[in-house]
Amino acid sequence: MKALNGLIEWLDHRTGIHTAARKFLYEEIPASSGWHQVFGSVALFLFLTQAFTGAMLAFNYAPTPGEAYNSLRYILTELTGGRLMRGLHHWGASLMIVVVVLHMIQVFVYGAYKKPREATWMMGVVLLLLTLGYGLTGYLLPWDNRAYWGTVVATNIAATAPVLGPYLTRLLGGPGIGVVTFARFFGLHVLLLPPVTALLIGVHVYLVRKHGVAPAPGDEALPKKQFYPRQVFKDTVAIFAAFIILFVMAVAVRVPLEQLADPTDTAYTPRPEWYFLFLFQFLKFFNGPLEVVGSMVLPGLAVLLLILVPFIDRTQMVKVTRRGFAFGFVVLAALGWGGLTAAAVVTTPAEAREAAVDYSAPTDWMQLSPEEMAGIGYFRRENCVTCHAIDGSGSQIGPDLTRTTIHRNAAWMIPHFKSPQGVRPGSSMPAIQLGDAQLNSLAAFLLKLNPQNASALENAPDFAVQGALVYQTNGCSDCHKVNGVGSDIGPSLNGLSKRRSRSWVEEHFGDPPKLSPGSSMPPFKFPAKDMENLTNYLFSLPE
């Protein structure tokens, strides 16, 4: 202990760090300080967490289109903890916006922006805009369809700015979105914004210190408190609460990754991140030449108004309970924001019929043949996992099906499926009530199963499995090839989504010669659900 004190004293003598820390911690704060003032610290903590998780992601990320997508997929599917890192960064961004806005509301409601703290407030508004800037620029970086189309909208809005439009477009690497835009957004997101933010946070905190924490009326008569330990404790508890929320979100709420950005995908409905939805909806009220009013003029005025708040309200500081007008304003703003956001959610067309493949999970199921995919369907339908383990996890009643030692051939498996006791006396496995073709599919899948591809079993989306079942039961492979399996009479179905539209394919099933004259394909009448699953499955096949 004595040695430690000696070391601290030595260090302090050279650097003054201990004295500075004490000065910082024992700063005097008004008697009224308390839980309502924790949000600034939480916002700072979240900023630092974002910087950390952002750096972690950057360690395995290639900032060019295409490569960006592949490297993010690598982070999500190949690296242990990669999904958590991305989850923390993704949800951290949302949480940061929530906390920054709460911080602002608190300052606004208490009137803490009043003289002499005008500059602190204005700096805070700039920091809010920077936080939104991260959201805007970071949105493009996964380079999936969502990122691409969301950014198309954002850059087109920037282009409508009066006078500045063309220059903004240039600055953002346009027209169009490609490698240059990507580089600009990446550069802004990781090289320019963070140091600027850090600098402005420094100025913001300096100003808070310079003027002291805003007192409430009546504080003059009371003895001052110290920042440490009581207020530091409160800040720390609030930070911990935010951290727990963030961590739980990152673990429990999966952040999807859509397919690679496809600039030719005309069916995609872009939708911005939730905190921009109100603007997205607001824009719908303005058409034609008025659009710029909704996209630029009014949002610009709102920001200006926000910056000028301390000069608009120059009244004396009063108790928070007497600031009814400020409360009312916040409630109105919240209602307006909430209403617009809700309207946006309700009116945006429900997720396109296109079944979304979650590319943040392994997609090795895409390499399977339709027969093997159908096997997954029978495997799920027959609830094989109630007795069998897959790659070491699950029930231990029957053997682990990924262990190659139990793999025989189809000639052994199929009689075994039909009569387990006949092949292996004493087995407690019930007979599987399926036809020969179906048992063949099941065997085809099981023969392929090994610890490396066992995740396909888990990750194959239901629409694809159901689609493959339709494909298999209708004997499509008698004429078509998928993933190299099948016959060459008809065209290979890989990459169908690039050649044909969904409506074309669905109409084609009903009357092939009408759409492709000379086709020898018989007509198929599918129930609506089967048709949807089959088309979705075929459209999800790799090229």
Q: Which is nearer to other proteins, 160 or 236 (CB)?
A: 236
Cβ nearer to other proteins, comparing 26 with 412: 26
Cis peptide before 461 (omega within 30 of 0): no
Query: Of 250 and 384, which CB lies nearer to other proteins in the complex structure?
Result: 250
Q: Which of 44, 51, 62, 292 binds other proteins (CB under 8 A)?
A: 62
From 44, 247, 296, 447, residue interacting with other proteins (rule: CB under 8 A): 247
In angstroms, give the least distance from the CB of 419 to other proteins.
34
Residue appearing with tokens 């720390």? 236
Residue nearer to other proteins on the CB measure, 51 or 318: 51
Q: Kindly state the smallest distance separating residue 2's Cβ from other proteins, in Å.
A: 16
Residue 116 C-beta: closest distance to other proteins, Å: 24
* Given 4, 5, 80, 266, the residue binding other proteins (CB under 8 A): 80
Judge contact between 309 and 120, C-beta under 8 A: no
H/E element, 481: strand 481-482
Any contact of residue 51 with other proteins (CB under 8 A)? no
Tell me how far apart the alpha carbons of residues 117 and 334 are, in angstroms, rounded to a whole number.
25
Which of 119, 130, 161, 243 is close enough to bind other proteins by CB under 8 A? Answer: 243
Q: Name the pairing type of β-strands 481-482 and 393-394.
A: unpaired
Rounded Cα–Cα distance for residues 467 and 445 (Å): 16
Alpha-carbon distance of 108 to 103, in angstroms, equals 9
Q: Strands 485-486 and 481-482, how do they pair?
A: antiparallel
Spell out, one character per residue from 192 to 231, where the chain touches other proteins: x when CB under 8 A holds, - when not. -------------------------------xxxx-xxx-
d(CA 283, CA 175): 21
**Longest Cα pair distance anywhere in the chain, in angstroms?**
95
Q: Which residues pair with 394 in a beta bridge?
A: 389
Helix axes 193-211, 118-138, angle to 10 degrees: 160
Q: Is 22 in the site for other proteins (CB under 8 A)?
A: yes
The end-to-end CA distance of the chain, in Å, is 68
Asked if 237 is part of the footprint of other proteins (rule: CB under 8 A), the reply reads yes
Task: Please give the torsion angle defined by the CA atoms of residues 373, 377, 379 and 381, in that order, rounded to the nearest 10 degrees.
Answer: 180
List the one residue out of 260, 246, 248, 257 whose CA is nearest residue 89: 246
Q: Which of 26, 167, 206, 274 binds other proteins (CB under 8 A)?
A: 26
Of the two residues 41 and 295, which places its CB atom closer to other proteins in the complex? Answer: 41
The verdict on 402 binding other proteins (CB under 8 A) reads no
Residue by residue, DSSP assigns 148-179 as HHHHHHHHHHHHTSTTTHHHHHHHTT-SS-SH
Q: Determine the size of the site formed for other proteins (CB under 8 A).
A: 48
Binding mask 258-297 toward other proteins (x if CB under 8 A, else -) reads: ----------------------------------------
Question: 97 or 361: whose CB is closer to other proteins?
Answer: 361
Closest CB to other proteins among 158 and 454? 454
Contact 475, 489 (CB under 8 A): no
Is 85 an interacting residue with respect to other proteins (CB under 8 A)? yes
- Residue closer to other proteins by CB (options 4, 312) is 4
> Does 19 sit near other proteins (CB under 8 A)?
yes
Under the criterion CB under 8 A, does residue 71 sit at the interface with other proteins? yes
Q: 26 or 167, CB closer to other proteins?
A: 26
Residue 22 or 319 with smaller CB distance to other proteins: 22
Paired residues of 29 in beta bridges = 225
Q: How far is the CB of 366 from other proteins (least distance, A)?
A: 13
The residue written with tokens 């979105």 in the block is 177
Q: Which of 34, 36, 52, 320: binder of other proteins (CB under 8 A)?
A: 52
Considering the complex, state which of residue 365 and residue 537 has its C-beta at the smaller distance from other proteins.
365
**CA 535 from centroid of its chain's CA atoms:** 27
Of the candidate spans 67-75, 133-141, 198-206, 380-388, the one that interacts with other proteins by CB under 8 A turns out to be 67-75
Min dist CB 308 to other proteins, Å, is 37
Which of 474, 491, 489, 488 shows the shortest CA–CA distance to 541? 491
Q: What CA–CA distances, in Å, run from 343 to 89, 336, 349, 415? A: 28, 10, 11, 58
For tokens 């240059």, name the residue. Answer: 180
Rounded Cα distance between 162 and 459, Å, is 48
- Of the pair 21, 171, the CB lying nearest other proteins is at 21
Say whether residue 141 binds other proteins (CB under 8 A).
no
Instruction: Give CA–CA dist 309/457, Å, rounded.
Output: 58
Rounded distance, CA 540 to CA 298, Å?
A: 42
CB of 526 to other proteins, least distance (A): 34
Residues ≥6 apart with Cβ < 8 Å to 77: 360, 361, 362
Minimum distance, C-beta of residue 53 to other proteins, in the bound complex (Å) = 8
Binding to other proteins, residues 355-384 (CB under 8 A): 362, 364
Q: Please pick, from the candidates 36, 58, 74, 366, the single residue that binds other proteins as defined by CB under 8 A.
A: 74
* Beta carbons of 213 and 30 less than 8 angstroms apart: yes
* Residue 511 touching other proteins (CB under 8 A): no
Which residue of 152, 177, 188, 239 would you call a contact of other proteins, by CB under 8 A? 239
Q: Which of 103, 96, 136 is nearest to 120 (CA)?
A: 103
Q: Point out which span in 81-89, 111-119, 155-163, 495-503 binds other proteins (CB under 8 A).
A: 81-89
Interface contacts to other proteins, rule CB under 8 A: 9, 12-13, 18-19, 22-23, 26, 31, 49, 52, 56, 59-60, 62, 67, 70-71, 73-74, 77-82, 84-85, 223-226, 228-230, 232-233, 236-237, 239-240, 243, 247, 362, 364, 452-453, 455
